[in-house]
Amino acid sequence: MLRFLTAGESHGPELVAVVEGVPAGFEIDVAKINHDLARRQKGYGRGGRMLIEKDEVRPVSGIRFGRTIGSPVTFIVVNRDFKSWEKRMSADPRDRGEAKVVTRPRPGHADLAGVLKYNLEDIRDILERASARETTARVAIGAFAKQFVAPFGIDILGYVTSIGATAAKIPNHLSLAELRAATEESAVRVADAEAERAIIEEIDACKKTGDTLGGVVEVVATGIPVGLGSHVQWDRKLDGRVAHALMSLQATKGVEFGLGFEAGRVRGSALHDEIGFDTAERRFTRRSNNSGGTEGGMSTGEPLRVRVAFKPLSTLMQPLRSVDIRSKEEAEGTIERSDVCAIPAAAVIAESVVAFELANAFLEKFGGDSLAEITRNYRGYLKQVRDF
């Protein structure tokens, strides 16, 4: 079983990711991890911070000569902005007093619940870790995890389906490769030029009025064999695990698979994906994929299709009403440098956490300590399914 922890504050010196349960013998291309980190940094609507950072991992354990060796893998990403925060984010008690205390919680942020729960008087102690800067580590882990499933033909892509009130019209005949090409070129990760223009206009309008925008992203994964996850126990269900991973991201408000919430509004006859059998290829087929690729908590062999809604960022340049936690007087929420819209980045982040969950479920199913062992198990299982 793979597991991971991340650590690090938004303006601290470094972010850290530790992944445990890593099998040996997998080729790891660090450039691919850095490529995904760069994708995460892009997107129209970001603030000044992304001009400061150039996220790159420094692998410090678990990889030798480009291959995993079975030990925990650790990645470090330096926060370049720390230079401007050294005193304010110092671990040294003598530097207390260097930082202005943040006392006005932003509605929608972790600020208020966090200081009450942890009994802290400076909101910065909460916001630093609640910040979506943490997703840098998740993307590094996801890009690493992708390299466990890529050799077995699993491909995963996240893209934007809507930002604010503008929904993209994405032709449903596009292959994952075509979708990738179209969304990588888009400033907002949308495969619809008209929607892109409208979204950019809306982001500009929000910037002018000090407002923010949320959106919905979709993640599609192809090449998943039937039978990842299990129906037998609640915490082994693949969709449950993917949903948990997505809902653990900052600012998420909902997850849906396949037809999603619409599934609750149509009849069974219109929803369920009828089964066929391709005698030439000797495999079961589906006439639709309204399930989004899971039934009974197991992968069906069809593409996994999941959407996640992110609320607008809670740092508003035109702040909402709040209360000062010291004086208890009415005050406006704190203004921090922030983004207007981070949904294009959220697509890469969602893709990354889905990648981790798929890699984990894959390694569980075909478990072993090395690439060779996993490959044997995988091939044997595919043969079993084919000969069924």
Residues that bind ligand EPS (CB under 6 A): 10, 47, 49, 81, 131-133, 136, 315, 336-339
> Least distance to ligand EPS from the beta carbon of 107, Å?
14
Instruction: Report the nearest approach of ligand EPS to the CB of residue 77 (Å).
Output: 9
Residue 299 or 338: the one with the smaller Cβ distance to ligand EPS is 338
CB of 130 to ligand EPS, least distance (A): 7
Residue nearest to ligand EPS (CB): 49
Q: How far is the CB of 132 from ligand EPS (least distance, A)?
A: 4
Residue closer to ligand EPS by CB (options 96, 337) is 337
DSSP string, 303-347: PEEEEEEEPPPS--SSPPEEE-TTT--EEEPPP-S--S--HHHHH
Closest alpha carbon to 301 in 222, 384, 388: 222
Backbone phi, then psi, for 307, in 5-degree steps? -120, 150
108 CB-near residues (< 8 Å, 6+ apart): 311, 312, 314, 320
Partners of residue 283 on adjacent β-strands: 278
**The dihedral sign for the CA sequence 359, 186, 313, 126:** positive
Closer to ligand EPS at the Cβ: 2 or 76? 76
Q: How far is the CB of 144 from ligand EPS (least distance, A)?
A: 18
In the complex with ligand EPS, which residue's Cβ is closer, 81 or 373? 81
Beta bridge partners of 223: none
Q: Which is nearer to ligand EPS, 104 or 133 (CB)?
A: 133
Report which of 37, 130, 117, 123 is spatially closest to residue 77, judged by C-alpha positions.
37
- Calpha distance 125→122 (Å, rounded): 6
**CA–CA separation, 127 and 274 (whole Å):** 48
In terms of CB distance, is 55 or 302 closer to ligand EPS? 55
In the complex, least distance from residue 367 CB atom to ligand EPS, rounded to whole angstroms: 34
In this structure, which amino acid lies at residue 44?
Y
